[in-house]
Structure formats: structure tokens, C-alpha cells
Chain A
Amino acid sequence: MADHHISLSEDVRARIAELGNVDILVGIPSFNSARTIGHVVRAVEAGLSKYFPGSRSLLVNSDGGSTDGTTDVVRQAGVDFGSVLIAPQDGRFHKLVTPYHGIPGKGSAFRAVFEIARGLGVKACAVVDSDLRSITPEWMELLIKPVLEEGYDYVSPYYLRHKYDGTITNSIVYPLTRALYGKRIRQPIGGDFGFSGRLASFYLGKDVWETDVARFGIDIWMTTTAVANGFKVCQAFLGAKIHDAKDPGADLSAMLHQVVSAVVDLMEEYPDVWRKVAGSEPVPTFGFAYSVGLEPIHVNLDRMLEKFRLGVADLAVLYRSFLPPALLAFLTSLAEEPRDRFVFPDKEWAWTIFRFALACRRKVMSREHIIKSLTPLYLGKVASFVIETWDSAAEDVENRLEELCRTFEEEKPYLVERWDRQPRRSGSSRRSP
């Protein structure tokens, strides 16, 4: 395995040497998060003091060149221990603020955290986003204890979310990664994770730090790498995740491209792992799960359906090169259905996703074009799901998602059979079922 070092600054190296060994490291990647990062730093310090009073711990802020004083906020943030009824750690808690090097992105920020973790020989690590509003000291316990006390290598977050939050996760990433790797990790692209020092070193050894993983896709990469390489995984119920939306107007198709592209990259890296997997198994979940009532939210179904219909009509010229005629005919007939009869069945959705993954694998055109052309179909599936579950409670929606996941698992042979077939010219692919 290739071992890749990055150049940590002299100051950081000196600090590592000065600190010697540290038990727990918590990384916070940041970029212009001055408004929110103070709360995150305080929650981390309070959590480490409360739940790991005897351990030496380090908070690392890996910053991407913030210009709004983020790093100053990190240095100055401190917990009023008296008010939270927690005893301070008495010199056992340290902070390190460092800019990261390499391609700008969360992945490069994590890389610096992994590097420092390896240098300090830490036992357990956690990474949390800098824009979190809902983080509490308990998150530290939930993300780190499974590693320190239960021997897990990777702790995935399990947030309490609205039934229509995370629709890309619910309709694509969760069903697909669960069917591929056989582990029921509910939110594989959560953003806040716990992991062992051993796994941090393993991540560092992977030759991905000059790829898209460094820019985006680090979340699904960490989860899949841990699962595919046989590390012991679990998930922790963290409650609600409320955070500042960095870019509320972010383009949906760009988001879809980043996430799906990362999943396909991993499919190409681990075909020997996922081909053998059939079905799935639950992973242990820590934390005290609860649910709250659902607040009504606004969903513009008409616009979603309009975009689906427009996509099926205008992008058919592209779809023909990688979707089989039967599936294309189904989509065309679905586009003619009125809203009250609009149902995108799970089986056809699973086939659609598998076909898009195969098209990326066979490089029938630019990957960005393939995945971005999935946007209207994805909106169609989301619209169908919303229509079907509009009056359902959160638990019923979760059961409905369970059905979708089972369909992905049942239809997985469809993908496995076709994965290694030679790329065909568009004319010949039309004949395949």
C-alpha cells in the first residue's frame, strides 16, 4: 500500500512533538465559519471534559484559509464549565489550529487531521462540521465511546431528520450502498464521524488525496472504505442535525453529480467486494433514539413533475445510449400520467440507478453529463415518493424506505451480471434487456 505524507508546517510538527501521545483527537474542518464554529468548539471541549476526563485530548481546526476570523474564534472559544456543571480537564485538553495544504476541500482538511492523528498515535478520533448549530457535548460520547470502549473502528452518524430531508440519501445513496456492501448504515454521507486511530492511518495510506475525494465525496468515501475493508462499523443516534446551509441555492444536479460520482468511483474500486454480497445486515446502533412530530413543509410537486416530463422528452436522445428500450418506454408512459396516478415503482427506479452506474462504468459519455441527466428522473422518483407518503408518519416513511432498499437488494443481480460486460456501442446496447 502506498503511504502518502503531506507537509505539515514546522509549527504543527513542533506541536506534535511537544504533545507526545494523545488519546482522543477531534477534527473540525472549516472555511469562513466564524459565526458557528465557536459553539462547535465549546461543545467538543465540554463533551471531552465530561465523558473522557482522564484522557489527553486535542481539538484540531483544519482551516481552508478563512478570511472571517474563524481561526481566531477557535482559539478564543472556551467553555464556562461552572454553568454546564462539568469539571475542566486540567491541562489535558489542547487546541491546534492549522491551515491545510493541497486541493481545497473537506477531504484535504480531513487528510491533515488524519496526519496529525497518526503523528500523535491517537486511539480514537472524531470529525464534526464547523457549521453545526445542534451539536451537544453528548455527540462526543456517542462518536468516540464506541471506538474507545467497544472496539469499533468506524461510527457513522444517525440523525433525526424530517421524512423529506436527505432525499438523495434516501432514494439513491442509502439503498445503493446498502445493497452493494450489505451494511444498513442509514446515513452514509452524514458528515460527522468517529473512527479509530488505526482507521485514520489506513485512510492516509490510500492514494486518493489528489482526486475528487479531496474536494468532495470524502463522507461516502470514508464510510465505504471502512465497510469494504472489513473494519468494524456501527452508527450512533445523534438527534437532530441543524446546520447553516453553506450554499442554499446550490445546484441540485451538481450535488447529484458529486454524490453519485463518488459512489460510482467506489463501485469501480471495490467490485470484488460488493459482487459477492447478497442481502444486508443491520449494524449496531448506539444512542437513545427518539422521534418528534413532523412539521409540514412545502413541496412543489407540480414543478418536480414538470421537470421530470421535460427531462424524459428532451433527454431521451441521451438516455437511448444507455437505458434499455423497455425502461425508456416505461419512463415515457410514466411522463404521460397525471399527478394522482403518478407512481415510479421501486424496481424501475433500481434499474434506472443501476443503468446510470453502468453508463458511468462504460464511459458512454462524460460522467458529469450522465449523472446530471439523472436529475429529472430523480425528481420524478422524489415526487412519486412524496405523493405516496404525504399523509404518512415518519415511521411509515421509514418502512417505505425499507421496501425500496429491499428492492435494490433483490435487483442487485441485474447490476452484477452487467458490470463486467464489455462496453458496447449505443446501437447494440438497445437490444439488452
Chain B
Amino acid sequence: MKSFIAKVLTEPLRSLVEKAAEYLPTVLAGLVVFLLGLLLAWLVKLLVVRIIKLLKIEGAFLRSGVTEALQRMAVKDTPAKLIGRMFYWLVVVIFFILSLSVMRIPVIDELLGRFLLYLPNIFVALVIMAIGIFLGNFLGRAVLIASVNAGLRLSGLLSKGVRTVILLFAAVMALEQLGIARSTVVVTFTILFGGVVLALALAFGLGGKELAASWLEKRLKKEGGGEDGDREDELHHL
């Protein structure tokens, strides 16, 4: 009976304890690495925020419209805090994977390798999106001001259209960089963009026919010395 108990319970238990004892330092080492990672992530976040403040990059975010875009998306953090937070999570994820690697789990090792190879793609995609947001806001604002100064009634729509197209371009490029449904994204975008351009061309052609005719009529009348309701100002601004 005793040998039976020893065979069925004691031996496996001893084996389990031995294996656990053998593995415990690795688990502890993994935990320590992860905790160190948390600490380092916190320090990196502080450092990044401090560097952004020292270099006065916040002003550039404000000028370029990034702050405004974030506010519009209901993001309460300043761009500096947001970047700090991104770095925090990047370090946390890296150390989480490192800690799993320390624990020597083969599947994790493979995943880690793939993740590290994929990281540059994420970085490039983020840069593309940042440039897209900056350009979209800047050009959207430029179009808004120019069209208002030209007296165009659809300035807001025009500005939003420009911003949306640029953001869409950036998003497609970022997704392509990430390799997410590459062909689907490009094909969808091409069809959508082509459709929008065609729709706009048709809309302008059909809807603007009368407008163009009346504009030409006014222009020709004016050149012929006709009505002067649309005459240019004769005052000199400078």
C-alpha cells in the first residue's frame, strides 16, 4: 500500500516540487525583469515629457494643429503627455515580452522575434499618421482661409474635404506599411477615391452649368461696359 501511495502521490508531487523549484528562479527572474520594465517605462515617460517641454515642441504641436486635432477627437491629454504615455506602453510591452523570454517559453521566443521584426513597421506607420494629421490640418486650414478670403460659400466643406482626403491617404499608407489587408485597402481606396472624383466632376458639371453660364454672362456684360453691380473696388489698400 505504502509503495502504491509513494508511486501514485509522493513521487509525482516530489517531481512537481522539484520542477517548480527548478523553474521558480526563472519565474522570479521574469517577474523582476517585468517590474524593472515598469519602473523604466515610468522613467522613460517622465524623461520624454520633460524633453518635449524643454525643447518647446508643444508650441509646434499647437501651431501645426495637432493639439486642436486631439481636442476634436476628445483626447484630454496634451500631445506631450500622449507621446509620454505611448513610450510608457512601448517599454512595458517590450519588457513584458522580455520577461516571458527570460522564462524560456519557446512559443514566446518565436513571438518575440516576430514582434521585434514588426516594430519598425509600427513606428513608420505612426510617423506616417503624424505627418498626415499635421499636413491635413495645415492644408485644411490654408484652404479654409483662402476660400473664405476668395468669398467662396462652401469654404468649410472644401477645407474638411481636403483634410479628410489627406488623412485618408495617410491612413491607407499606414495600413499598407503595417501589411494589414494590403491589397484590399488599396483597391477599396482606389475605388472610393475614383468614385468621389467622378461624383465631384459630375456634380460640378451638372450643378455648375448655370453658375458658369451666369458668371460668363456677367463677365461679358462687364467687359462690354454693361451693369456694374460686380465692379471691382477702386480703393487702394496699401
User: Chain A: residues with CB nearer than 8 A to chain B?
Assistant: 162, 164-169, 189, 251-253, 255-256, 259, 297-300, 303-304, 306-307, 310-311, 314-315, 317-318, 321, 363-366, 369, 372-373, 375-376, 382, 386, 423, 425-427
Q: What chain B residues lie within 8 Å of A168 (beta carbons)?
A: 237-238
Residue of B nearest to A256 (CB): B237
Q: Interface readout for B93-111 with A: 1 if CB under 8 Å, 0 if not?
A: 0000000000000000000
- Rounded to whole angstroms, the CA-CA distance of A389 and B149 in the bound complex is 25
Q: Interface readout for B66-87 with A: 1 if CB under 8 Å, 0 if not?
A: 0110010000001000000000
Judged by a CB distance under 8 angstroms, whether B151 is at the interface is yes
In-complex Cβ contact of A252 among B78, B142, B149, B153 (8 A): B149
Contact check, A315 vs B144: say whether CB atoms are below 8 A apart: yes
Contact check, A297 vs B235: say whether CB atoms are below 8 A apart: yes
- Rounded to whole angstroms, the CA-CA distance of A300 and B236 in the bound complex is 13
User: Which residue, of A299, A306, A315, has the highest number of chain B Cβ atoms within 10 A?
Assistant: A315
Contact check, A425 vs B78: say whether CB atoms are below 8 A apart: yes
Contact check, B144 vs A299: say whether CB atoms are below 8 A apart: no
Contact check, B156 vs A314: say whether CB atoms are below 8 A apart: yes
- Rounded to whole angstroms, the CA-CA distance of A376 and B64 in the bound complex is 23
Contact check, A252 vs B145: say whether CB atoms are below 8 A apart: no
Contact check, B155 vs A310: say whether CB atoms are below 8 A apart: yes
Contact check, B235 vs A164: say whether CB atoms are below 8 A apart: yes
Within 154-182 of B, Cβ neighbours of A (below 8 Å) are at 155-156
Contact check, A365 vs B141: say whether CB atoms are below 8 A apart: yes
User: Which residue, of A314, A365, A427, has the highest number of chain B Cβ atoms within 10 A?
Assistant: A314
Q: What chain B residues lie within 8 Å of A304 (beta carbons)?
A: 233
Contact check, A363 vs B63: say whether CB atoms are below 8 A apart: yes
Q: Enumerate 16 A-B pairs (CB-CB under 8 Å) in ascending A order.
A: A162-B236, A165-B236, A167-B236, A189-B238, A251-B149, A253-B149, A299-B235, A310-B148, A314-B156, A363-B59, A365-B65, A369-B141, A369-B142, A373-B145, A386-B235, A426-B67
User: Which residue, of A366, A376, A382, A423, has the highest number of chain B Cβ atoms within 10 A?
Assistant: A366
Q: What chain A residues lie within 8 Å of B156 (beta carbons)?
A: 314
* Contact flag A372-B145 (CB < 8 Å), given A167-B235, A168-B238: yes
Judged by a CB distance under 8 angstroms, whether B22 is at the interface is no
Shortest distance from the beta carbon of B86 to any chain A beta carbon, whole Å: 20
Q: What chain B residues lie within 8 Å of A365 (beta carbons)?
A: 62-65, 141
Q: What chain A residues lie within 8 Å of B78 (beta carbons)?
A: 425
Shortest distance from the beta carbon of B33 to any chain A beta carbon, whole Å: 39
Q: What chain B residues lie within 8 Å of A364 (beta carbons)?
A: 62-63
Residue of A nearest to B235 (CB): A164
Shortest distance from the beta carbon of A411 to any chain B beta carbon, whole Å: 23
Q: What chain B residues lie within 8 Å of A427 (beta carbons)?
A: 71
Contact check, A425 vs B67: say whether CB atoms are below 8 A apart: yes
Q: Interface readout for B118-152 with A: 1 if CB under 8 Å, 0 if not?
A: 00000000000000000000100110111011010
Contact check, A298 vs B231: say whether CB atoms are below 8 A apart: yes
Number of interface residues of B (CB under 8 A): 31
Q: A363-B59, A369-B142, A375-B148 are in contact. List 15 more A-B contacts (CB 8 A).
A: A166-B236, A253-B149, A255-B238, A298-B234, A300-B232, A300-B233, A307-B151, A315-B145, A315-B148, A318-B144, A364-B63, A365-B141, A366-B63, A425-B62, A426-B71
Shortest distance from the beta carbon of A406 to any chain B beta carbon, whole Å: 23
In-complex Cβ contact of B144 among A165, A314, A321, A386 (8 A): A314
In-complex Cβ contact of B148 among A259, A376, A426 (8 A): A376
Judged by a CB distance under 8 angstroms, whether B228 is at the interface is yes
The majority secondary structure among interface residues of chain B is helix
Contact check, B68 vs A426: say whether CB atoms are below 8 A apart: yes
* Contact flag A169-B238 (CB < 8 Å), given A300-B232, A423-B59, A427-B71: yes
Contact check, B62 vs A255: say whether CB atoms are below 8 A apart: no
Contact check, A255 vs B237: say whether CB atoms are below 8 A apart: yes
Q: What chain A residues lie within 8 Å of B138 (beta carbons)?
A: 366
- Rounded to whole angstroms, the CA-CA distance of A311 and B149 in the bound complex is 7
Q: What chain A residues lie within 8 Å of B238 (beta carbons)?
A: 166, 168-169, 189, 255, 259
- Rounded to whole angstroms, the CA-CA distance of A217 and B48 in the bound complex is 40
- Rounded to whole angstroms, the CA-CA distance of A386 and B228 in the bound complex is 19
Contact check, A298 vs B233: say whether CB atoms are below 8 A apart: yes
Shortest distance from the beta carbon of B160 to any chain A beta carbon, whole Å: 10
Q: What chain B residues lie within 8 Å of A167 (beta carbons)?
A: 235-237
Q: What chain A residues lie within 8 Å of B155 (beta carbons)?
A: 310, 314
Shortest distance from the beta carbon of A350 to any chain B beta carbon, whole Å: 19
* Contact flag A299-B233 (CB < 8 Å), given A310-B151, A375-B149: yes
Shortest distance from the beta carbon of B198 to any chain A beta carbon, whole Å: 27
Across the A-B interface, the 7 shortest Cβ-Cβ residue pairs: A297-B234, A164-B235, A253-B149, A375-B149, A314-B155, A165-B236, A298-B234
Contact check, A372 vs B63: say whether CB atoms are below 8 A apart: no
* Contact flag A298-B228 (CB < 8 Å), given A166-B238, A259-B238, A318-B141: yes
- Rounded to whole angstroms, the CA-CA distance of A318 and B141 in the bound complex is 8
Q: What chain A residues lie within 8 Å of B67 (beta carbons)?
A: 425-426
* Contact flag A165-B235 (CB < 8 Å), given A369-B141, A425-B62: yes
Q: Interface readout for B15-40 with A: 1 if CB under 8 Å, 0 if not?
A: 00000000000000000000000000
* Contact flag A376-B232 (CB < 8 Å), given A168-B238, A363-B63: no
- Rounded to whole angstroms, the CA-CA distance of A303 and B144 in the bound complex is 18
- Rounded to whole angstroms, the CA-CA distance of A255 and B149 in the bound complex is 13
Shortest distance from the beta carbon of A314 to any chain B beta carbon, whole Å: 5
- Rounded to whole angstroms, the CA-CA distance of A426 and B67 in the bound complex is 9
- Rounded to whole angstroms, the CA-CA distance of A166 and B237 in the bound complex is 5
* Contact flag A321-B153 (CB < 8 Å), given A255-B238, A300-B232: no
Q: What chain B residues lie within 8 Å of A317 (beta carbons)?
A: 144
